[in-house]
Amino acid sequence: MKGIFRILILTVLFNACIQTEEQSLVPVFHINPESAEPGKFSDYFDKLTYLKLELDSENPIGNINNLEAREDAYYIFDSRSNKVFKYGLGGELLMIIDKQGKGPGEYQRISSISINEDDHEVIISDKMGMAIRYYSSDDGTFIRKMDMDYIPLAITYIGKGKIAAHLNFVPHQLEIESANPHNLIYFRSPDKPVSKFLPFDPSLRHPFYGGKMFTNTDKGTFFMPPFYHQVFLLDESACEPFLELDFGKYNFRYDIFGEASTSSEQLDRMYKSHLVFTKTGFAEMNDYYFFQYGWKGIIYFAFLNKSTQEAHVHKKFTNDINGFSVGFLKESGNNKLLFAIDSHDLVSRRNHFYNISKDSSKSQAEQESAQRYCDRMDSIIGPLTENDNPVIGIYEMKTGT
Protein backbone atom coordinates (compact mmCIF):
# COMPACT_ATOMS: atom_id res chain seq x y z
CA MET A 1 0.00 0.00 0.00
CA LYS A 2 2.85 2.37 0.88
CA GLY A 3 4.49 1.53 -2.45
CA ILE A 4 1.35 2.48 -4.34
CA PHE A 5 1.11 5.68 -2.33
CA ARG A 6 4.74 6.54 -3.20
CA ILE A 7 4.05 5.89 -6.87
CA LEU A 8 1.04 8.19 -6.75
CA ILE A 9 3.08 10.94 -5.10
CA LEU A 10 5.87 10.58 -7.67
CA THR A 11 3.35 10.62 -10.51
CA VAL A 12 1.78 13.83 -9.20
CA LEU A 13 5.18 15.48 -8.79
CA PHE A 14 6.28 14.35 -12.25
CA ASN A 15 3.13 15.75 -13.86
CA ALA A 16 3.54 18.98 -11.92
CA CYS A 17 7.09 19.32 -13.22
CA ILE A 18 5.92 18.74 -16.78
CA GLN A 19 3.16 21.31 -16.37
CA THR A 20 5.58 23.87 -14.93
CA GLU A 21 8.01 23.29 -17.76
CA GLU A 22 5.26 23.63 -20.34
CA GLN A 23 4.00 26.82 -18.75
CA SER A 24 7.49 28.30 -18.73
CA LEU A 25 7.67 27.90 -22.50
CA VAL A 26 5.11 30.68 -22.87
CA PRO A 27 6.40 34.05 -21.59
CA VAL A 28 4.16 35.69 -19.00
CA PHE A 29 4.19 39.48 -18.74
CA HIS A 30 2.82 40.91 -15.51
CA ILE A 31 0.99 44.21 -15.95
CA ASN A 32 -0.38 46.33 -13.12
CA PRO A 33 -2.74 48.99 -14.53
CA GLU A 34 -2.26 51.09 -11.40
CA SER A 35 1.51 51.35 -11.90
CA ALA A 36 1.35 53.33 -15.14
CA GLU A 37 3.91 56.12 -15.27
CA PRO A 38 4.57 58.99 -17.71
CA GLY A 39 6.83 58.09 -20.60
CA LYS A 40 8.86 59.98 -23.17
CA PHE A 41 8.66 59.36 -26.88
CA SER A 42 12.46 59.32 -27.03
CA ASP A 43 12.56 56.34 -24.65
CA TYR A 44 11.18 54.10 -27.39
CA PHE A 45 11.05 55.91 -30.71
CA ASP A 46 13.66 57.26 -33.11
CA LYS A 47 11.39 59.13 -35.48
CA LEU A 48 7.77 60.26 -35.60
CA THR A 49 6.04 61.26 -38.83
CA TYR A 50 2.44 62.18 -39.57
CA LEU A 51 0.53 61.46 -42.76
CA LYS A 52 -2.43 63.61 -43.78
CA LEU A 53 -5.04 61.72 -45.78
CA GLU A 54 -6.48 63.58 -48.76
CA LEU A 55 -10.05 64.63 -48.07
CA ASP A 56 -12.91 63.95 -50.45
CA SER A 57 -15.56 66.29 -49.10
CA GLU A 58 -18.34 63.92 -50.21
CA ASN A 59 -16.61 60.91 -48.65
CA PRO A 60 -14.93 61.95 -45.40
CA ILE A 61 -13.46 59.32 -43.09
CA GLY A 62 -15.23 59.21 -39.74
CA ASN A 63 -13.53 56.38 -37.87
CA ILE A 64 -10.61 54.20 -38.97
CA ASN A 65 -11.49 50.68 -37.90
CA ASN A 66 -8.88 48.82 -39.97
CA LEU A 67 -5.63 50.05 -41.51
CA GLU A 68 -3.72 47.71 -43.81
CA ALA A 69 -0.29 49.06 -44.78
CA ARG A 70 1.37 47.64 -47.88
CA GLU A 71 4.52 48.57 -49.78
CA ASP A 72 2.67 50.78 -52.24
CA ALA A 73 -0.57 51.81 -50.50
CA TYR A 74 -2.66 52.12 -47.35
CA TYR A 75 -6.09 50.48 -47.19
CA ILE A 76 -8.57 51.88 -44.66
CA PHE A 77 -11.97 50.65 -43.53
CA ASP A 78 -14.10 53.49 -42.17
CA SER A 79 -16.73 52.00 -39.90
CA ARG A 80 -18.78 55.20 -39.85
CA SER A 81 -19.33 55.42 -43.61
CA ASN A 82 -19.05 51.63 -44.15
CA LYS A 83 -16.56 52.18 -46.99
CA VAL A 84 -13.02 51.11 -47.91
CA PHE A 85 -10.45 53.71 -48.97
CA LYS A 86 -7.13 53.18 -50.76
CA TYR A 87 -4.41 55.82 -50.32
CA GLY A 88 -0.97 56.25 -51.81
CA LEU A 89 2.08 56.47 -49.59
CA GLY A 90 1.89 60.25 -49.76
CA GLY A 91 -1.71 60.33 -48.52
CA GLU A 92 -3.30 60.82 -51.95
CA LEU A 93 -6.73 59.20 -52.41
CA LEU A 94 -6.61 56.45 -55.05
CA MET A 95 -9.88 54.55 -54.77
CA ILE A 96 -13.07 54.10 -52.73
CA ILE A 97 -15.01 50.84 -52.49
CA ASP A 98 -18.62 51.76 -51.83
CA LYS A 99 -20.94 48.97 -52.93
CA GLN A 100 -23.50 48.93 -50.14
CA GLY A 101 -26.74 47.04 -50.57
CA LYS A 102 -28.20 43.56 -50.88
CA GLY A 103 -27.75 43.06 -54.59
CA PRO A 104 -25.11 41.12 -56.54
CA GLY A 105 -21.59 42.28 -55.73
CA GLU A 106 -22.80 44.40 -52.82
CA TYR A 107 -22.12 44.19 -49.07
CA GLN A 108 -24.31 45.14 -46.11
CA ARG A 109 -22.10 45.87 -43.11
CA ILE A 110 -18.32 45.53 -43.05
CA SER A 111 -16.63 44.33 -39.87
CA SER A 112 -13.02 44.11 -41.10
CA ILE A 113 -10.81 43.97 -44.19
CA SER A 114 -7.62 42.24 -45.27
CA ILE A 115 -5.42 42.44 -48.37
CA ASN A 116 -4.28 39.63 -50.67
CA GLU A 117 -1.40 41.21 -52.54
CA ASP A 118 -0.70 38.04 -54.54
CA ASP A 119 -4.06 38.20 -56.33
CA HIS A 120 -4.68 41.96 -55.96
CA GLU A 121 -7.73 41.52 -53.73
CA VAL A 122 -9.38 43.51 -50.97
CA ILE A 123 -11.12 40.95 -48.75
CA ILE A 124 -14.15 42.18 -46.81
CA SER A 125 -15.96 40.44 -43.97
CA ASP A 126 -19.65 41.31 -44.26
CA LYS A 127 -21.15 40.58 -40.85
CA MET A 128 -24.71 41.51 -41.77
CA GLY A 129 -24.61 39.62 -45.04
CA MET A 130 -22.80 36.69 -43.35
CA ALA A 131 -20.29 36.46 -46.17
CA ILE A 132 -16.71 37.16 -47.12
CA ARG A 133 -16.47 39.23 -50.29
CA TYR A 134 -13.57 39.86 -52.64
CA TYR A 135 -12.94 43.07 -54.61
CA SER A 136 -10.11 44.15 -56.88
CA SER A 137 -7.46 46.20 -55.08
CA ASP A 138 -6.77 47.95 -58.40
CA ASP A 139 -10.19 49.35 -59.28
CA GLY A 140 -12.66 48.01 -56.68
CA THR A 141 -14.44 45.63 -59.06
CA PHE A 142 -16.38 42.84 -57.35
CA ILE A 143 -14.73 39.43 -57.87
CA ARG A 144 -16.56 36.79 -55.86
CA LYS A 145 -18.05 35.97 -52.47
CA MET A 146 -17.97 33.13 -49.95
CA ASP A 147 -21.18 32.63 -47.96
CA MET A 148 -20.74 31.86 -44.26
CA ASP A 149 -22.76 29.85 -41.78
CA TYR A 150 -21.60 32.20 -39.02
CA ILE A 151 -20.97 35.91 -38.56
CA PRO A 152 -17.43 36.93 -39.64
CA LEU A 153 -16.14 39.54 -37.19
CA ALA A 154 -12.47 39.76 -38.14
CA ILE A 155 -10.45 38.23 -40.94
CA THR A 156 -6.87 38.15 -42.16
CA TYR A 157 -5.23 36.72 -45.26
CA ILE A 158 -2.42 34.31 -44.31
CA GLY A 159 -1.23 33.32 -47.77
CA LYS A 160 -1.69 30.48 -50.26
CA GLY A 161 -5.33 31.32 -50.78
CA LYS A 162 -6.18 30.84 -47.12
CA ILE A 163 -7.80 33.24 -44.68
CA ALA A 164 -8.34 33.07 -40.93
CA ALA A 165 -11.69 34.26 -39.59
CA HIS A 166 -12.78 35.10 -36.06
CA LEU A 167 -16.49 34.30 -35.82
CA ASN A 168 -19.59 35.01 -33.80
CA PHE A 169 -22.61 32.76 -33.53
CA VAL A 170 -26.31 33.48 -33.32
CA PRO A 171 -28.13 31.75 -30.41
CA HIS A 172 -29.89 29.04 -32.39
CA GLN A 173 -26.54 27.89 -33.84
CA LEU A 174 -25.11 27.36 -30.36
CA GLU A 175 -27.97 25.01 -29.55
CA ILE A 176 -27.10 22.73 -32.47
CA GLU A 177 -24.73 20.12 -31.11
CA SER A 178 -23.38 19.24 -34.55
CA ALA A 179 -22.37 22.86 -35.18
CA ASN A 180 -19.20 22.47 -33.06
CA PRO A 181 -18.53 26.22 -33.09
CA HIS A 182 -15.00 27.60 -32.68
CA ASN A 183 -13.58 31.11 -32.26
CA LEU A 184 -11.11 30.73 -35.10
CA ILE A 185 -11.55 28.91 -38.40
CA TYR A 186 -9.26 28.67 -41.42
CA PHE A 187 -10.87 28.75 -44.84
CA ARG A 188 -9.35 27.98 -48.19
CA SER A 189 -11.56 29.99 -50.49
CA PRO A 190 -14.02 29.03 -51.79
CA ASP A 191 -14.06 25.67 -50.00
CA LYS A 192 -15.43 24.71 -46.59
CA PRO A 193 -13.44 25.18 -43.36
CA VAL A 194 -10.11 23.36 -43.29
CA SER A 195 -9.11 23.88 -39.62
CA LYS A 196 -10.80 24.93 -36.37
CA PHE A 197 -9.21 26.28 -33.19
CA LEU A 198 -10.29 27.59 -29.77
CA PRO A 199 -13.70 26.01 -29.01
CA PHE A 200 -16.38 28.64 -28.65
CA ASP A 201 -17.61 29.55 -25.15
CA PRO A 202 -21.21 30.85 -25.22
CA SER A 203 -20.54 32.86 -22.07
CA LEU A 204 -18.16 35.05 -24.06
CA ARG A 205 -20.65 35.99 -26.72
CA HIS A 206 -20.78 39.73 -26.43
CA PRO A 207 -21.24 42.77 -28.69
CA PHE A 208 -17.80 44.23 -27.96
CA TYR A 209 -15.37 42.83 -30.50
CA GLY A 210 -13.20 45.82 -31.30
CA GLY A 211 -9.51 46.29 -31.56
CA LYS A 212 -6.93 44.77 -33.86
CA MET A 213 -7.25 41.01 -33.41
CA PHE A 214 -4.83 39.91 -36.15
CA THR A 215 -1.27 41.11 -36.67
CA ASN A 216 0.74 39.78 -39.59
CA THR A 217 4.53 39.59 -39.19
CA ASP A 218 7.47 37.75 -40.73
CA LYS A 219 7.20 35.28 -37.86
CA GLY A 220 3.57 34.52 -38.65
CA THR A 221 0.13 35.86 -37.74
CA PHE A 222 -0.66 36.83 -34.17
CA PHE A 223 -4.24 36.51 -32.95
CA MET A 224 -5.58 38.20 -29.82
CA PRO A 225 -9.24 37.22 -29.34
CA PRO A 226 -11.54 39.29 -27.12
CA PHE A 227 -11.72 38.37 -23.44
CA TYR A 228 -8.52 36.29 -23.63
CA HIS A 229 -5.30 37.14 -21.80
CA GLN A 230 -3.27 35.21 -24.35
CA VAL A 231 -1.79 36.04 -27.70
CA PHE A 232 -1.74 33.14 -30.15
CA LEU A 233 0.62 32.50 -33.06
CA LEU A 234 -0.97 31.07 -36.18
CA ASP A 235 0.47 29.19 -39.08
CA GLU A 236 -1.16 27.12 -41.79
CA SER A 237 -1.95 24.21 -39.50
CA ALA A 238 -1.79 25.37 -35.88
CA CYS A 239 -2.89 27.98 -33.36
CA GLU A 240 -0.49 27.93 -30.40
CA PRO A 241 -0.27 30.18 -27.31
CA PHE A 242 2.62 32.62 -27.79
CA LEU A 243 2.56 34.77 -24.67
CA GLU A 244 0.30 35.51 -21.73
CA LEU A 245 -0.67 38.81 -20.14
CA ASP A 246 -1.27 38.71 -16.39
CA PHE A 247 -3.16 41.66 -14.93
CA GLY A 248 -3.28 40.18 -11.42
CA LYS A 249 -6.47 41.04 -9.60
CA TYR A 250 -7.69 42.90 -12.67
CA ASN A 251 -7.73 39.86 -14.93
CA PHE A 252 -11.03 39.87 -16.76
CA ARG A 253 -13.57 37.43 -15.30
CA TYR A 254 -16.71 37.27 -17.39
CA ASP A 255 -18.36 34.79 -15.00
CA ILE A 256 -19.05 37.48 -12.37
CA PHE A 257 -21.62 38.96 -14.72
CA GLY A 258 -23.53 35.71 -15.19
CA GLU A 259 -25.09 35.26 -18.60
CA ALA A 260 -23.97 37.58 -21.35
CA SER A 261 -26.11 40.69 -21.33
CA THR A 262 -26.28 44.02 -23.08
CA SER A 263 -27.98 45.97 -20.29
CA SER A 264 -26.59 49.48 -19.97
CA GLU A 265 -25.92 49.01 -16.25
CA GLN A 266 -23.87 45.87 -16.81
CA LEU A 267 -21.89 47.32 -19.69
CA ASP A 268 -21.12 50.37 -17.57
CA ARG A 269 -19.80 48.12 -14.80
CA MET A 270 -17.64 46.26 -17.29
CA TYR A 271 -16.13 49.40 -18.73
CA LYS A 272 -15.44 51.11 -15.41
CA SER A 273 -14.35 48.15 -13.32
CA HIS A 274 -12.54 45.69 -15.56
CA LEU A 275 -10.21 45.33 -18.46
CA VAL A 276 -12.38 45.05 -21.53
CA PHE A 277 -10.52 44.36 -24.76
CA THR A 278 -12.43 46.69 -27.02
CA LYS A 279 -9.74 49.11 -28.19
CA THR A 280 -6.61 47.03 -28.13
CA GLY A 281 -3.63 46.33 -30.29
CA PHE A 282 -0.68 43.98 -30.26
CA ALA A 283 2.53 44.32 -32.24
CA GLU A 284 5.93 42.68 -32.33
CA MET A 285 8.89 45.03 -32.60
CA ASN A 286 12.60 44.21 -32.68
CA ASP A 287 13.12 44.52 -28.93
CA TYR A 288 9.58 44.82 -27.55
CA TYR A 289 6.10 43.48 -27.80
CA PHE A 290 3.70 46.39 -27.76
CA PHE A 291 0.26 46.08 -26.24
CA GLN A 292 -2.47 48.72 -26.06
CA TYR A 293 -5.52 48.30 -23.83
CA GLY A 294 -8.30 50.26 -22.17
CA TRP A 295 -9.11 50.34 -18.48
CA LYS A 296 -11.61 52.64 -16.74
CA GLY A 297 -11.97 54.73 -19.86
CA ILE A 298 -8.23 55.37 -20.26
CA ILE A 299 -5.98 53.97 -22.99
CA TYR A 300 -2.72 52.44 -21.74
CA PHE A 301 0.44 51.55 -23.63
CA ALA A 302 2.56 48.60 -22.47
CA PHE A 303 6.04 47.92 -23.79
CA LEU A 304 6.97 44.32 -23.04
CA ASN A 305 10.74 43.81 -23.07
CA LYS A 306 11.55 40.56 -24.87
CA SER A 307 14.83 39.89 -23.11
CA THR A 308 13.87 40.77 -19.52
CA GLN A 309 10.09 40.09 -19.72
CA GLU A 310 9.51 43.39 -17.92
CA ALA A 311 6.43 45.42 -18.70
CA HIS A 312 6.66 49.22 -18.83
CA VAL A 313 3.17 50.77 -18.76
CA HIS A 314 2.34 54.35 -19.72
CA LYS A 315 -0.86 56.32 -20.11
CA LYS A 316 0.68 59.48 -21.52
CA PHE A 317 3.89 60.57 -23.20
CA THR A 318 6.07 63.65 -23.08
CA ASN A 319 6.32 65.09 -26.60
CA ASP A 320 10.10 65.47 -26.74
CA ILE A 321 10.80 64.49 -30.38
CA ASN A 322 8.19 66.40 -32.36
CA GLY A 323 5.38 64.15 -31.16
CA PHE A 324 1.84 65.33 -30.75
CA SER A 325 -0.51 62.55 -29.84
CA VAL A 326 -0.90 58.79 -29.65
CA GLY A 327 -4.16 57.42 -30.97
CA PHE A 328 -5.26 53.83 -31.44
CA LEU A 329 -2.87 51.27 -32.85
CA LYS A 330 -4.08 50.13 -36.27
CA GLU A 331 -1.07 48.56 -37.97
CA SER A 332 2.56 47.60 -37.44
CA GLY A 333 5.53 46.37 -39.44
CA ASN A 334 9.22 47.02 -40.13
CA ASN A 335 9.68 48.03 -36.47
CA LYS A 336 7.03 50.76 -36.84
CA LEU A 337 3.73 51.39 -35.09
CA LEU A 338 0.92 53.09 -37.02
CA PHE A 339 -1.73 54.97 -35.04
CA ALA A 340 -4.96 56.63 -36.19
CA ILE A 341 -5.25 60.09 -34.65
CA ASP A 342 -8.50 62.03 -34.83
CA SER A 343 -8.09 65.45 -36.47
CA HIS A 344 -10.50 66.94 -33.93
CA ASP A 345 -8.11 65.93 -31.13
CA LEU A 346 -5.15 67.51 -32.90
CA VAL A 347 -7.03 70.74 -33.60
CA SER A 348 -8.23 70.93 -30.01
CA ARG A 349 -4.69 70.44 -28.78
CA ARG A 350 -3.35 73.15 -31.08
CA ASN A 351 -6.12 75.56 -30.02
CA HIS A 352 -5.26 74.89 -26.38
CA PHE A 353 -1.61 75.87 -26.89
CA TYR A 354 -2.54 78.77 -29.16
CA ASN A 355 -4.71 80.23 -26.39
CA ILE A 356 -1.82 79.87 -23.96
CA SER A 357 0.50 81.68 -26.38
CA LYS A 358 -1.89 84.66 -26.43
CA ASP A 359 -2.74 84.63 -22.70
CA SER A 360 -1.13 87.65 -21.08
CA SER A 361 -1.58 86.09 -17.65
CA LYS A 362 0.97 83.42 -18.59
CA SER A 363 4.68 83.96 -18.28
CA GLN A 364 6.70 84.86 -21.33
CA ALA A 365 8.41 81.45 -21.21
CA GLU A 366 5.03 79.66 -21.19
CA GLN A 367 3.74 81.76 -24.07
CA GLU A 368 6.87 81.16 -26.14
CA SER A 369 6.81 77.42 -25.45
CA ALA A 370 3.16 77.21 -26.50
CA GLN A 371 3.88 79.18 -29.69
CA ARG A 372 6.75 76.83 -30.56
CA TYR A 373 4.37 73.89 -30.16
CA CYS A 374 1.88 75.48 -32.59
CA ASP A 375 4.62 76.33 -35.09
CA ARG A 376 6.00 72.78 -34.89
CA MET A 377 2.57 71.22 -35.50
CA ASP A 378 1.92 73.56 -38.45
CA SER A 379 5.30 72.77 -40.03
CA ILE A 380 4.94 68.99 -39.64
CA ILE A 381 1.24 68.42 -40.33
CA GLY A 382 0.23 71.65 -42.05
CA PRO A 383 -3.16 73.39 -41.83
CA LEU A 384 -5.76 71.18 -40.21
CA THR A 385 -9.45 71.58 -39.40
CA GLU A 386 -11.84 69.52 -37.32
CA ASN A 387 -13.52 68.32 -40.52
CA ASP A 388 -10.35 66.83 -41.99
CA ASN A 389 -9.70 63.10 -42.19
CA PRO A 390 -7.86 61.40 -39.32
CA VAL A 391 -4.08 61.61 -39.41
CA ILE A 392 -1.85 58.53 -39.51
CA GLY A 393 0.99 58.68 -36.97
CA ILE A 394 3.98 56.54 -38.01
CA TYR A 395 6.27 55.88 -35.04
CA GLU A 396 9.61 54.20 -35.71
CA MET A 397 10.92 52.18 -32.76
CA LYS A 398 14.47 52.32 -31.49
CA THR A 399 16.60 49.20 -31.74
CA GLY A 400 19.09 47.77 -29.29
CA THR A 401 17.49 49.42 -26.24
pLDDT at 207 over 70: no
The pTM of the whole model exceeds 0.85: no
Lowest mean pLDDT among 29-43, 187-201, 240-254: 187-201
Q: Does the N-terminal peptide bond of residue 171 adopt cis geometry, omega within 30 degrees of 0?
A: no
Closest CA to 53 of 41, 62, 42: 62
Which has more confidence, 93 or 198? 93
pLDDT at 326 over 90: no
| pLDDT confidence of residue 24 | 47
213-266 tens-digit pLDDT: 888 888 888 888 766 678 888 876 778 889 988 877 766 544 433 444 444 555
User: Quick one: average pLDDT of 63-88?
Assistant: 94
User: Quick one: average pLDDT of 194-209?
Assistant: 56
User: Quick one: average pLDDT of 162-182?
Assistant: 61
Torsional sign, CA 179, 190, 330, 86: negative
Which has more confidence, 194 or 327? 327
- Work out the pLDDT band at 394, boundaries 50, 70, 90: very high
- Work out the pLDDT band at 9, boundaries 50, 70, 90: very low
- Mean model confidence pLDDT for the chain: 78
Domains of the chain: 29-397 (2.120.10.30)
Strand positions, DSSP E, 259-348: 281-284, 288-295, 298-305, 311-314, 317-318, 328-333, 336-341
Give CA–CA dist 83/110, Å, rounded: 8
